[in-house]
Amino acid sequence: MVSVEGFKKAIEDAISQDYQIEYLGKNFDKTVGLLTEAKAAKIYRWVDDVARKNIQPILVGSDKPYKGWTISELLTFRYPFSIGRTEYRVMLVKVKNSIYIEFHLGNHKYYDKVRKELDLRNKS
């Protein structure tokens, strides 16, 4: 069983930035609690690969506003996995050439909601 605070710290260590990333997702803490150490380790490696620029982002050329930016100013990264028969997604959002702002963790229904907000509906 993975602790929520340990999970967040591992993510923050991988992205190593001063800005506080926001952790989002319906039942985020409960979902983290369902992770095995092995699944969490795979997520940590994926975040590390994103931070090292080894994974290509999803790009969207939209002027739609999202928080303090336009969507075209953001890079989005997606990692799918499953626990039992339930599909989950991690979505990491970064401002281009700058900071990571959000770490989303949720089931596919939650992921579809976030995709719509980020204009990613037909792209990922």
pTM of the predicted structure, to 2 decimals: 0.91
Question: What's the average model confidence in pLDDT over 2-24?
Answer: 94
For the chain, the domain total comes to 1
Q: Does residue 93 lie in a domain region?
A: yes
Element housing 117 (H / E): helix 108-117
Residue 122 pLDDT: 58
Sequence-distant contacts of 88-97: CB under 8 A, at least 24 apart? 88/31, 90/43, 90/46, 92/47, 92/50, 93/118, 94/57, 95/69
Residue 37 pLDDT: 96
Q: Does residue 122 lie in a domain region?
A: no
> pLDDT for 38-59, tens place per residue?
999 999 999 999 999 999 999 8
> pLDDT for 65-119, tens place per residue?
999 999 999 999 999 999 999 999 999 999 999 999 999 999 989 999 999 999 8
Amino acid 57 reads: P
Q: Does residue 34 lie in a domain region?
A: yes
Query: How many CB atoms sit inside 10 A of residue 63's CB?
Result: 9
Q: Does residue 124 lie in a domain region?
A: no
Amino acid 21 reads: I
Alpha carbons 52 and 67: distance in angstroms, whole number: 25
Owning domain of residue 78: 4-117
Taking alpha carbons only, the member of 66, 29, 55 closest to residue 124 is 55
